[in-house]
Chain A
């Protein structure tokens, strides 16, 4: 059995990541981020999104990637998940791809070094590899930890 899903593709340190379009509320240009004291290290802070205060996760820090300075290409993808809105800060974001479920290799099929549990699988799209992010795991982990 297979079904088609749309994924928003974004880039972090030249790697392509995808997330299920259902979670995406809006994609915003980088605006002023207010630091929040004593927040987890990967929280950039909060932004004002049309009157609503929304926390922003720095995905580079969350994934423990090398830190590079922000550019004009930076985007904040606002996700809506279980009645909360959370923004994720990514390097750039440009396209939406449609993937068949059988185009995605499950994370548990992959070798053990790939055990970061916020990865749902690897999608193959036109010879490109797209890392599919497991949004519920990514966001819920913070609430409990």
Chain B
């Protein structure tokens, strides 16, 4: 079988399973008694085992198999979930994730076997047995004295018929409980020997667990069999005594009376049980249904195909714009109606395609509970992570990129923000620190916030550090307000931590976060109160592919300015523009506004309408059109020659060949088929 064609599916599915295992483990840690979660983890381990064995990834199969054994052990109540077990399971999870990542990278799971983990898993089981050894001893004695075994075997009608017929025929029916030695290495093999020995002189009519399960080693140390044989108890005992690694053999003969009566009861009981089970099942089904409807049905689509669809839609939008132009010229009723219709269709189609690309941010958020758990353990801090707005949807491209900056911010909050437990208690704060991670849509953008209730940022310290590093001068600080000072945190190579810890401060500062967010067209801000906590606010555009833009004319060229970076459009008298140290500024609404000439910034070839204030005094009173753009708190006015209007534009990359071009964020195709460049206003600040 060529497994490579299934590799992608395998990776995708494994990842999904791992994700659910991760969240289940986290839940189990806080709710150790929850059997449903336990079952869920068991189910995932089991599925992974099956999948990986099929694909020939033996390390994964082996590890999940051992995990299953331990989980099963817990499930049967032989063991309690404790910190060691969850830690061990998390370790296994990490290893599995490593394997899957290996598979993704090189189509191989790697040679790094998980033997030491498997040993640990087995030891954890044994340790528990030793701890509970006493109990088991007592249990063992009890049946011997009472001569009855509390059997887990359930009699159905068929079985009781067989048994009663056998008894009528004068055969012996025995219930045997065999307990293997706790040090037994190959339980299933041992069990197989026992069963085959018994089969030589008897018929095994029933077993618990089933023979298949015994063969698969899906039992603890003991199993029960119902035997029909003409030999007596002594004979069976003698036959079995030669087999080693058997701790105890309990045999209790079944009498016809006990069976004759019990089956009926059992039948009644069974039906009751079935009903209960069915009810449970129904409930579970309903729960499952509710869960399903929440996550909704999904189809996995190759992102390239989606991009292709996107491109086609963009084409449609372009042709729509073109038709609009043509329609205006002729002014015919029918055409314009048709165009309006087309416009409605394209807008809807655009929405639909964009929605396909939208993914709930849950995907990114999911990995943080685990991270926070580990961090709080490492640092000895008590931390609760509160997630909200996981259902907020963002574009796939954003999802892929946003993870790292968020990891950084959360680490930052936990490491620098939240104080040690002692200090918190001293300050009269709650012992447990809180980190809130929330997301919500806000108009055409998505806001993600990381908030902690820690110590906050000492602005004085930031100021001093920035002066020390030569990022600003002492004079600068006099003019800066707190907000601007906090923004200094995002300067390259800046860290307020007094000592560099293992968790953060490894040379990657908040500037990395800022760069990443800005490359996605977003902005990041910080808000802090000393002693109360810090909040980082990330604002991202919903989509990266189609935006609203203002088309302007500069010289003889057309440019698009993204609408979300435009604050307002105004006209300014040329005479009011002042030149301060080669920079032009204007007093606008009681504050200074730097003026930039787009024609100079973009080296547009000189055209007739020269608007230089120095040389051209003839039209000194004339107004110039100024587009005020913003970046964070800063504003700047861009002088343009003409405004064309607002338009929906499709962003096209300039490609790898021109990837280093500054001041241009991309290109778009206009209705007439020509290309207009998109101005990257952020680069002007």
List residues of chain A with CB under 8 Å of any chain B CB.
32, 34-39, 43, 45-48, 51-55, 82-86, 139, 142-143
Is there contact, CB below 8 Å, between A51 and B661? Answer: no
8 shortest interchain CB distances as A-B pairs:
A37-B602, A34-B675, A53-B652, A53-B667, A84-B656, A55-B658, A55-B657, A48-B675
Q: In this assembly, does B170 line the interface, its C-beta being within 8 Å of a C-beta of chain A?
A: no
Nearest A-chain residue to B662, judged by Cβ = A38
List of A residues within 8 angstroms of B654 by Cβ:
36, 46, 53, 55
Nearest A-chain residue to B672, judged by Cβ = A32
Of A45, A48, A139, the contact of B673 (CB 8 Å cutoff): A48
Is there contact, CB below 8 Å, between B318 and A36? Answer: no
Query: In the complex the two chains form, what is the Cα distance from A85 to B654 in whole Å?
Result: 10
Is there contact, CB below 8 Å, between B674 and A53? Answer: no
- Residue interface mask B592-611, A partner, CB < 8 A = 1: 00000000011111000000
Query: In the complex the two chains form, what is the Cα distance from A32 to B675 in whole Å?
Result: 8
Is there contact, CB below 8 Å, between B676 and A34? Answer: yes
Q: For chain B, what secondary structure do more than half of its interface residues adopt (helix, strand, loop), or is it mixed?
A: mixed
Nearest A-chain residue to B557, judged by Cβ = A35
Given A46-B654, A142-B657, CB of A37 within 8 Å of CB of B664: yes
Is there contact, CB below 8 Å, between B658 and A34? Answer: no
* Besides A46-B677, A51-B669, A85-B655, 15 other A-B contacts (C-beta < 8 A): A32-B675, A34-B677, A36-B664, A37-B663, A37-B664, A37-B677, A38-B603, A46-B658, A48-B674, A54-B655, A55-B657, A82-B656, A84-B657, A86-B657, A143-B657
List of A residues within 8 angstroms of B321 by Cβ:
none
Is there contact, CB below 8 Å, between A36 and B655? Answer: no
Is there contact, CB below 8 Å, between A38 and B661? Answer: yes
Nearest A-chain residue to B683, judged by Cβ = A38
List of A residues within 8 angstroms of B656 by Cβ:
82-84, 143
Is there contact, CB below 8 Å, between A47 and B675? Answer: yes
Separation in Å of the A20 CB from the closest CB of chain B?
A: 18
Query: In the complex the two chains form, what is the Cα distance from A86 to B660 in whole Å?
Result: 15
Given A48-B673, A51-B311, CB of A37 within 8 Å of CB of B657: no
Is there contact, CB below 8 Å, between B652 and A52? Answer: yes
Query: In the complex the two chains form, what is the Cα distance from A108 to B669 in whole Å?
Result: 44
Nearest A-chain residue to B603, judged by Cβ = A37
List of A residues within 8 angstroms of B652 by Cβ:
52-53
Q: In this assembly, does B314 line the interface, its C-beta being within 8 Å of a C-beta of chain A?
A: yes
Is there contact, CB below 8 Å, between A34 and B661? Answer: no
Given A34-B676, A48-B673, CB of A55 within 8 Å of CB of B655: yes
Q: In this assembly, does B362 line the interface, its C-beta being within 8 Å of a C-beta of chain A?
A: no
Nearest A-chain residue to B315, judged by Cβ = A51
Query: In the complex the two chains form, what is the Cα distance from A46 to B559 in whole Å?
Result: 13
Separation in Å of the B596 CB from the closest CB of chain A?
A: 13
Given A46-B667, A54-B655, A84-B655, CB of A39 within 8 Å of CB of B674: no
List of B residues within 8 angstroms of A38 by Cβ:
602-603, 661-664
List of B residues within 8 angstroms of A54 by Cβ:
655
Q: In this assembly, does B653 line the interface, its C-beta being within 8 Å of a C-beta of chain A?
A: yes
Is there contact, CB below 8 Å, between A46 and B675? Answer: yes
Query: In the complex the two chains form, what is the Cα distance from A95 to B657 in whole Å?
Result: 27
Query: In the complex the two chains form, what is the Cα distance from A108 to B601 in whole Å?
Result: 43
Nearest A-chain residue to B318, judged by Cβ = A51
Query: In the complex the two chains form, what is the Cα distance from A96 to B112 in whole Å?
Result: 55
Is there contact, CB below 8 Å, between B603 and A34? Answer: no
Nearest B-chain residue to A81, judged by Cβ = B657
List of A residues within 8 angstroms of B677 by Cβ:
34, 36-37, 46
List of A residues within 8 angstroms of B661 by Cβ:
36-39
List of B residues within 8 angstroms of A139 by Cβ:
657
List of A residues within 8 angstroms of B663 by Cβ:
37-38
Nearest A-chain residue to B556, judged by Cβ = A35
List of B residues within 8 angstroms of A52 by Cβ:
652
Separation in Å of the A137 CB from the closest CB of chain B?
A: 14
Nearest B-chain residue to A34, judged by Cβ = B675
Nearest A-chain residue to B652, judged by Cβ = A53
Query: In the complex the two chains form, what is the Cα distance from A82 to B657 in whole Å?
Result: 10
Separation in Å of the A51 CB from the closest CB of chain B?
A: 5
6 A-B pairs whose Cβ atoms sit less than 8 Å apart in the complex: A37-B603, A37-B661, A37-B664, A46-B667, A55-B658, A84-B657
Query: In the complex the two chains form, what is the Cα distance from A139 to B311 in whole Å?
Result: 26
List of B residues within 8 angstroms of A43 by Cβ:
658
Separation in Å of the A14 CB from the closest CB of chain B?
A: 28
Nearest A-chain residue to B602, judged by Cβ = A37
List of A residues within 8 angstroms of B557 by Cβ:
34-35
- Interface hits, B632-685 → A, CB 8 Å: 652-664, 666-667, 669, 673-677
